[in-house]
């Protein structure tokens, strides 16, 4: 229903997002996430190719697209000297919401983001998390069909991040809003229905988190025993597995780790002191598709989050 | 698909939406002015110093000569009013740079409204704020011997509005490509000082050397200063252009034309700016 057709952002990027889906864009800074989102939000024009959002072309039907999307940017885009309610009213005017309906739309949203009692306070007295919540409420005020969240929790403390995710989950349960998220936090990417991994302007993988992790392959079991050498021989004899000795424990890879653990216990004759099963993480997925660790890729580009570069970018 | 609790709002038509946007941006400038009272004080402090110190100081030097038969302090009073309008109108565009730096400009740029209404809203808002600030100075009129009556005040308000509108538009043009506050202040200082000193705000334009006379006539602010002065002081000598006295409506028409062209340019620059 909501098509994002072919378009060229930094390189060749092509995908579709279903209505009501929470779609994640995962990649290090500078990978092309913001560029892609800017094109979808009609803030930049694609130099080649097309994109449709909520059924409208981002180039030829710009106003239609704009009326159907809500945006929560990386940077705060509130007016500090206006109150929360004034910021929302301003937004309502920009989006042509009839004045008579504004209050009825505003109250439940402020309630949802826990800012009802702060409605008449100037935004400059708000904390970073409160500002972000207000922005999410504002992005929803005109009932968009697609909500774009560009790094919505960047620079926030873990507790506030959890809060914001609670709101997002509640929102998805209540309203049929398609959400398009960019992030470089793995745990946030995990929450998405589907993820596109983007690196150096290209989508290198696109699927559900589970499928992506499955594509990496086996679970990792780490095992400590009283006699690692004997255990390794027994595992090789019984299951044909080659257990790798790493320091004072054994590491082996099996397709379904949790189901395999009981079989280890029933097979081994030596005592097991500890066992740990690890599913492939999105870190592993990222490593597999890009050949780099996300954290390494990120630290190279993390300067891009500083105010200098932000000023440069917002000058567009 | 589950049912949504609230029906999507009926959106207003584009014309109404754009008109409401202009009004909202205008209103926002007023709210911000009220919440930053120091801005008002700093904006009128400089004109007051000019009026009192320069008026009295240079006034003692020139006496009553060369200022159209009125005291120097009376002569510069309308000039100082115009000067405060020039300053605050050009600086009102700083809110655009400010909005850009603090992100709020983006909120406006991604909205389904035309760039024209954003620019017009800013021009009207900035103009109103600077006229309001300029009018605060009018309380000094009786103390320095400028007599006021309702017609003069009304004429002055119209003159100040025209000047404020035109120069706010110019400020917007200048701010359309500036990202940083520091650059903005530098550019403004470069524009503002020649504009003020070549406008006839602080000295009469009647017997200048030819090159200076040409420069003053090329300055749009000159016509605003002339308009303000002749509305407040009917006996002041009129501005001459090619040897002819410029009628009041001529001053008004020139400022209005300059403002309209500049505003059109501002809209164009913002439309391309993304």
Residue A305 reports pLDDT greater than 60: no
The three-class DSSP label of residue A152 is: coil
pLDDT of residue A9: 46
pLDDT at residue B171 is higher than 70: yes
Side-chain half-sphere CA neighbours of B86 within 13 A: 30
Interface test with A, best of B8, B25, B105, B110 (most A CBs within 10 A): B110
Minimal Cα–Cα distance from B123 to chain A, Å? 17
Count: domains in chain B: 1
Of B14, B28, B274, Cβ closest to residue A79: B28
A76 contacts on B by Cβ (under 8 Å): 102-103
* B12 close to A (CB below 8 A): yes
Given pLDDT bands bounded at 50, 70 and 90, which one contains residue A296? low
Nearest neighbour of B31 by CB, restricted to A82, A96, A176: A82
- pLDDT at residue B115, as a whole number: 86
Chain B residues with CB inside 8 Å of A44's CB? 274
Residues A155-205 have pLDDT tens digits of 777 887 887 788 788 878 777 788 888 887 888 888 889 988 888 778 888
Phi, psi at residue A246, to the nearest 5°? -125, 105
A109-119 pLDDT tens trace: 898 888 999 99
What pLDDT digit, counting tens, does each position of A196-228 carry?
888 877 888 888 888 888 887 778 888 888 888
Chain B partners of A146 at a C-beta cutoff of 8 Å? none
Residues of A in contact with B105 (CB under 8 A): 314
- In degrees to the nearest 10, what's the CA dihedral of B246, B252, B255, B260? -140
In order of their start, the domains of chain A are: 6-213+291-314 (3.40.50.300), 218-278 (3.30.70.920)
Domain-located, residue B60:
yes
Per residue in B193-248, pLDDT (tens digit) is: 899 989 988 888 877 888 888 898 999 999 999 999 989 888 888 888 887 888 98
pLDDT: which is higher, A126 or B38: A126
B141 contacts: CB under 8 Å, gap ≥ 6: B77, B147, B148, B232
SS (H, E, C) B91-111: HHCHHHHHHHHCCHHHHHHCC
* B111–A44 CB contact, under 8 Å: no
Q: Give a yes or no: residue B8 inside a domain.
A: no
CB atoms within 10 A of CB B17: 22
Tell me which H or E stretch contains A220.
strand A219-225
Cβ–Cβ below 8 Å for B274 and A63 = no
Q: What is the pLDDT of residues A65-86, one digit of tens each?
A: 888 898 888 888 899 899 999 9
Q: What is the separation, in whole angstroms, between the first and last Cα of chain B?
A: 36
Digit-coded pLDDT (tens) for B106-129: 888 888 888 888 889 988 998 898
Chain A residues closer than 8 Å to B94 by CB: none
pTM (predicted TM-score) = 0.77
ipTM reported for the complex, 2 dp: 0.80
What is the per-residue burial (b if ≥16 Cβ within 10 Å, else e) of A92-111? bbbbbbeeeebeebbeebbe
Query: Per-residue pLDDT averaged across A231-244, rounded?
Result: 80
Domain of residue B216 covers 15-273
In a domain, B76, yes or no: yes
Compare all CA atoms of chain B with the CA of A83 and give the residue at the minimum distance.
B31
């Amino acid at each position: 229903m909501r098509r994002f057709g072919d378009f060229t952002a930094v390189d060749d990027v092509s995908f579709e997002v279903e209505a009501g889906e929470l779609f994640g864009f995962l990649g290090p800074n500078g990978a092309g996430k913001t560029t892609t989102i800017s094109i979808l939000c009609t803030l930049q024009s694609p130099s080649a190719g097309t994109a449709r959002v909520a059924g409208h072309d981002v180039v030829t039907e710009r106003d239609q697209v704009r009326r159907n999307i809500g945006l929560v940017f990386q940077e705060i885009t509130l007016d500090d000297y206006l109150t929360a309610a004034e910021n929302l009213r301003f937004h309502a005017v920009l989006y042509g919401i009839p004045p008579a309906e504004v209050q009825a739309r505003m109250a439940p949203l402020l309630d949802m983001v826990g800012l009802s009692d702060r409605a008449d306070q100037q935004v400059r007295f708000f904390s970073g998390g409160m500002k972000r919540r207000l922005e999410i409420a504002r992005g929803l005020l005109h009932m968009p069909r697609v909500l774009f969240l560009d790094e919505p929790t960047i620079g926030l403390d873990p507790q506030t991040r959890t809060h914001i995710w609670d709101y997002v989950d509640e929102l998805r349960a209540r309203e049929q809003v398609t959400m398009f998220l960019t992030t470089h936090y793995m745990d946030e990417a995990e929450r998405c229905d589907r993820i596109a991994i983007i690196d150096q302007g290209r989508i290198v993988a696109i699927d559900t988190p589970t499928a992506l992790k499955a594509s990496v392959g086996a679970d990792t079991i780490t095992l400590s025993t009283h006699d690692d050498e004997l255990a390794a021989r027994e595992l090789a004899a019984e299951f044909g597995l080659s257990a790798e000795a790493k320091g004072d424990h054994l590491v082996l890879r099996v397709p379904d780790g949790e189901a395999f653990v009981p079989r280890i216990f029933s097979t081994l004759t030596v005592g097991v002191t500890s066992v740990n099963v690890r599913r492939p993480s999105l870190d592993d997925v990222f490593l597999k598709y890009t050949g780099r660790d996300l954290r390494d890729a990120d630290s190279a580009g993390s300067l891009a989050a500083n105010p200098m570069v932000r000023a440069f970018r917002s000058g567009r | 698909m589950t049912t949504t609790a609230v029906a999507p709002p009926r959106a207003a038509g584009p014309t109404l939406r754009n008109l409401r946007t202009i009004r909202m941006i205008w209103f926002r400038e007023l709210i911000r002015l009220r919440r930053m009272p120091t801005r008002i004080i700093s904006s009128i402090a400089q004109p007051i110093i000019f009026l009192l110190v320069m008026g009295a100081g240079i006034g003692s030097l020139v006496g009553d000569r060369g200022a159209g038969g009125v005291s120097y302090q009376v002569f510069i009073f309308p000039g100082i009013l115009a000067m405060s309008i020039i300053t605050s109108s050009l600086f009102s565009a700083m809110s655009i740079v400010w909005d850009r730096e603090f992100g709020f400009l983006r909120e406006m740029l991604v909205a389904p409204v035309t760039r024209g209404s954003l620019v017009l809203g800013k021009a009207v808002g900035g103009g109103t704020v600077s006229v309001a600030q300029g009018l605060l100075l009018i309380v000094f009129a009786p103390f320095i011997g400028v007599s006021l009556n309702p017609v003069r005040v009304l004429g002055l308000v119209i003159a100040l509005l025209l000047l404020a509108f035109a120069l706010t538009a110019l400020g917007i043009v200048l701010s359309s490509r500036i990202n940083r506050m520091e650059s903005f202040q530098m550019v403004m200082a470069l524009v503002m000082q020649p504009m003020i000193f070549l406008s006839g705000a602080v000295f009469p334009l009647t017997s200048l050397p030819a090159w200076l006379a040409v420069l003053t006539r090329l300055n749009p602010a000159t016509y605003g200063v002339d308009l303000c002065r002749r509305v407040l002081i009917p006996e002041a000598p009129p501005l001459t252009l090619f040897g002819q006295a410029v009628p009041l409506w001529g001053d008004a028409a020139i400022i209005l034309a300059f403002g309209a062209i500049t505003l059109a340019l501002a809209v164009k620059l913002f439309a391309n700016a993304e």
